[in-house]
């Protein structure tokens, strides 16, 4: 893992195609006639930023992330682009520039206080522009639920901080509608359950190891504990993701999409 901030671009990009597909879906639904400036919030290693640059090749595209490792990977691929090392909430509260499109693919679930954050993000959108967001929303899926249950079980609970580990901050669609409707001229919402075809249950652990499982492993002090937690988590999820006759497993992964036009 990246020792400085916990995010490992290599781990994240093991499933680059699957992680980028929702980004393509979100970008493809944005209905703007003239896009000159775009910012990708939570750009990670730049795979989502590349989607935006391809979708709007004449636009000035910037990427923002709070992980130095992710930004460095993105900068190595495209040193000509503008890369900003900053947290989303801090940028939303302090930035004084606006964009035709403020875009975020699978990042805002890590940022709290959405009742404050989303209106601030809309303020960074020019009139006639859009805020486009995709967030995972499968809190009750086995892969997500079991890592929390394991961490709070008697053998493990004392090994984690008393306040717990960082968790997703995603509300239901009604919350976002009520928050954004008075501030916008049009809203577009939808959900998609992606079915990722993976070689085995071990690959599911690798999938979550790049995102939701990462805070749990970062919180454990020893390599032995990290390995043991991962091993126990794998055994817990196996019954929920049985192999098909060809040996592969299906990982359902629900995601929420919203596009708010200012």
The pLDDT of residue 1: 32
What is the model's pLDDT at position 39? 98
The pLDDT, as a whole number, for residue 15 is 57
The predicted model gives 11-31 an average pLDDT of 81
* CA 77-79-84 angle, 5° bins: 100
Structural domains in the chain plus CATH codes: 9-261 (3.40.50.150)
Q: Where are the beta strands (DSSP E) in the chain?
A: 37-41, 60-65, 82-85, 99-105, 125-136, 186-198, 249-261
**For tokens 């000035």, what's the residue?**
60
pLDDT tens-digit map of 219-255? 999 999 999 999 999 999 999 999 999 999 999 999 9
Token pair in block for residue 243: 């192999």
The Cα–Cα gap between 132 and 101 comes to: 7
pLDDT of residue 46: 93
Res 171 pLDDT > 80: yes
Segment 155-164 mean pLDDT? 93
Between CA 166 and CA 161 the distance in angstroms is 10
pLDDT of residue 164: 85
Rounded Cα distance, 182 and 184, in Å: 6
pLDDT score for 14: 55
- Residue 198's Cβ-side half-sphere holds a number of Cα atoms within 13 Å equal to 23
Q: Can you give the pTM of this predicted structure?
A: 0.90
Three-state DSSP class for 84? strand
pLDDT value of residue 67: 93
Quote the CA–CA distance of 106 and 22 in Å, as a whole number.
Answer: 9
- Residues of the chain above pLDDT 90, percent: 87
* Contact criterion met (CB below 8 Å) for 121 and 180: no
């Amino acid at each position: 893992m990246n020792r400085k901030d916990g995010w490992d671009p290599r781990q994240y990009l093991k499933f680059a195609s699957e992680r980028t597909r929702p980004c393509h879906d979100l970008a493809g639904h944005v209905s703007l006639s003239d896009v000159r400036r775009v910012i990708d919030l939570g750009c990670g290693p730049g795979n989502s930023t590349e989607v935006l640059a391809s979708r709007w090749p004449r636009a000035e595209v910037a990427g923002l992330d709070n992980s130095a490792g992710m930004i460095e990977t993105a900068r190595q691929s495209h040193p000509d682009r503008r890369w900003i090392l900053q947290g989303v909430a801090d940028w939303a509260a302090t930035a004084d520039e606006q964009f035709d499109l403020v875009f975020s693919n699978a990042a805002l679930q890590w940022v709290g206080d959405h009742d404050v954050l989303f209106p601030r993000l809309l303020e960074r959108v020019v009139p006639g522009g859009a805020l486009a967001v995709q967030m995972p929303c499968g809190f009750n899926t086995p892969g997500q639920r079991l890592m929390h249950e394991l961490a709070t079980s008697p053998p493990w609970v004392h090994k984690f901080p008393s306040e717990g580990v960082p968790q997703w901050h995603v509300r239901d669609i009604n919350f976002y509608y009520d928050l954004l409707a008075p501030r916008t001229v049009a809203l577009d919402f939808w959900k998609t359950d992606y079915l990722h075809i993976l070689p085995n249950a071990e690959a599911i652990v690798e999938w979550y190891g790049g995102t939701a499982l990462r805070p749990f492993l970062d919180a454990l002090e020893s390599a032995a504990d990290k390995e043991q937690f991962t091993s126990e988590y794998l055994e817990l999820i196996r019954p929920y993701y049985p192999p098909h006759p060809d040996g592969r497993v299906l990982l359902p992964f629900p995601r929420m999409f919203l596009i708010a036009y200012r």
